[in-house]
Structure 1
Amino acid sequence: MSQPEQTLHVATWNLNNAVDDRSHRQAALARRLDLDLLLVQEANPRSLGTFTEQAGFDWAVSTDDLAIMMPREGRRWPLPVAVLGRGSRPLTARLIIDAPLPERIIVVTLDTDIGPLTAVSYHAPPGVNWKLKKVEQAQLLSRWLATVDGPIVVGADMNTPDIDHPNREAVRTHWHTGMAKLNGEPGDDIVFGGTPTHPLDDAFRCWLDDHPAELESIRKQRPEGPLAISHHTGRTSTSPGTPRRYDTIWISAHLRVLLMNYDYDDALAAGSDHALVHGIFSATLP
């Protein structure tokens, strides 16, 4: 008799600095999904511990926990990124110290039901504030990903792309290769474009590759994209803003996508301004 397939339910979510009632509502939503691993951005340090417990996780590691390793250089730190999980605690947790903004990336290694895994939570700096630092940070992530052995999952608020076209080759990031202001250097499309140079792939695009009818439905609804809606930029009291798919899960070829979902309405009702993006993954055969 064959054994049941081992799976891992992973999500990424920008919590939007939630505290008090908003944090409680977000924890209730995460708990209902019965997640194994949650990669978060913009966690509030004051509420993260309670959120972790209420959402049904056994542990959390944030960039604030590793702050002693972080060069301040007089900069104001952003809200932390974090990894939350169930079961045994991570084997390691660290920052990528040589990143331009190391406080925006956390890396943990852990044992899971599908085997050893490297999990990363990444919050891209907004280009309007950080300009070329946004590209430098993305390039560093790409180089680092190419050095990691074994299965990898990255949950990211990418703050891009500008055009999330159904055709991979038509995806356009805000700081794309060929822009005059990059002076001939590659842009963040090498990381978060439709055909990245690192070994990971966008899990939602992998899912759509295996479900062409769903992709065709998206093409009819939004011919120029986005593939899904995870955020709106420019939202005001009188305008819904521009729909974006800024939030993604990226996976190495060691993982197979069994299911992907963008829970936008529920996430907004819970007090975030970003979708809760979650997927179920299994390990591919060696």
Structure 2
Amino acid sequence: MSRPTQSLHVATWNLNNAVEERSHRQAALARSLDLDLLLVQEANPRSLRTFTQQAGFDWAVSTDDLAIMLPRQGRRWPLPVAVLGRGPRPRAAKLIIDAPLPERIIVVEIDTHIGPLTAVAYHAPPGVNWKLKKVEQALLLSRWLATVDGSIVIGADMNTPDIDHPDRDAVRTHWHTGMAKLNGGPGDDLVFGGTPTHTLDDAFRRWLDDHPDELGRIRAQRPDGPLAVSHRTGRTSTSPGTPRRYDTIWISKHLRVLTMNYDYDDALRAGSDHALVHSTLTTTH
């Protein structure tokens, strides 16, 4: 795949706990895209090292690698999130240990050919299980972002929004501000809504801002959204389920989007239930 010089090809992907042959198919798909950086959720600890090698990456850091930093506190440890990359290993890797569920976020600081970068893999806890923890986790992420300088990219399985409307102001997360179950508190729309209060932006919406014809095509096909399909909730052998755009790349103001792709069908054939979302980024100056 040819791409502009001085750019970074970044992806996010929920691997859906893949092992063995399914993991090999996923690695082949990732390798075919010539990625520089992959931010993953639901990696299988037994297959991650092999996946990393087969997909053409030089290193991987997962929350399991850093688990010694935090007691498990008697709860089940989820499948790890991880950052995989090419080139020099990260200068630093950490958990945000004051998060309600720190095992669902990993942060690495790396040097890339477009400059220093803070890369984050994030897996939102499902609200049906974790209730208000989902909101607390998102708000903690927003507060943490305010402490970080320089270029930032987040690959997230957000487990939201409920309505991914083409109009930013009409986006509705599952736990949005004003809902009775929040008892007057803020919702995760402040973090993952159409107009978040932090300084990062949804890379796909940023790209659509620069490609109004594509936004118009999406609006004509799906007037109430989603902007793209990255997952289907309630999917069974007899029902296609409800289309969602749960998987996103978020970028700081220092970065510009050159390309944006949601590879849903290829990702399903490779054995995931989430799209492989990838974007070519460069700096704004």
Q: TM-score normalised to the size of structure 1?
A: 0.98
For structure 1, which runs of at least 5 residues remain unmatched after alignment? none
Corresponding residue number in structure 2 for 1:109? 109
CA distance in 2, matches of 1:201, 1:5: 23
Corresponding residue number in structure 2 for 1:136? 136
Contact 1:11 1:35 survives alignment (8 Å) = yes
CA shift digits 1:123-174 (9 cap, x unpaired) = 0000000000000000000100111000000000000000000000000000
Q: Aligned partner of 1:270: which letter?
A: A
Cα RMSD over matched residues?
0.6
Corresponding residue number in structure 2 for 1:25? 25
CA distance in 1, matches of 2:116, 2:71: 30
Corresponding residue number in structure 2 for 1:148? 148
Q: Aligned partner of 2:229: which letter?
A: I
CA shift digits 1:188-219 (9 cap, x unpaired) = 00000000011100000000000000000000
Corresponding residue number in structure 2 for 1:220? 220
Contact 1:101 1:137 survives alignment (8 Å) = yes
2:98 aligned counterpart, secondary structure? coil
Corresponding residue number in structure 2 for 1:91? 91
- Worse-matched range after superposition: 64-73 or 31-40: 64-73
Matches for 1:22-171 after TM superposition, within 5 Å:
22-171=22-171
Corresponding residue number in structure 1 for 2:229? 229
CA distance in 1, matches of 2:146, 2:212: 29
In the TM superposition, residue 284 of structure 1 has moved relative to its aligned partner by 1.1
CA distance in 2, matches of 1:226, 1:16: 22
CA distance in 1, matches of 2:48, 2:137: 25
Contact 1:5 1:282 survives alignment (8 Å) = no
CA distance in 2, matches of 1:239, 1:131: 27
CA shift digits 1:4-27 (9 cap, x unpaired) = 740000000000000000000000
Contact 1:229 1:244 survives alignment (8 Å) = yes
1:11 aligned counterpart, secondary structure? strand
CA distance in 2, matches of 1:202, 1:228: 13
Corresponding residue number in structure 1 for 2:189? 189
1:206 aligned counterpart, secondary structure? helix
> Quick one: percent identity of the two aligned structures?
85
CA distance in 1, matches of 2:108, 2:64: 14
CA distance in 2, matches of 1:71, 1:221: 48
Q: Aligned partner of 1:255: which letter?
A: L
4+ runs deviating over 3 angstroms? none
1:109 aligned counterpart, secondary structure? strand
Corresponding residue number in structure 2 for 1:263? 263
Q: Aligned partner of 2:108: which letter?
A: V
CA distance in 2, matches of 1:21, 1:192: 34
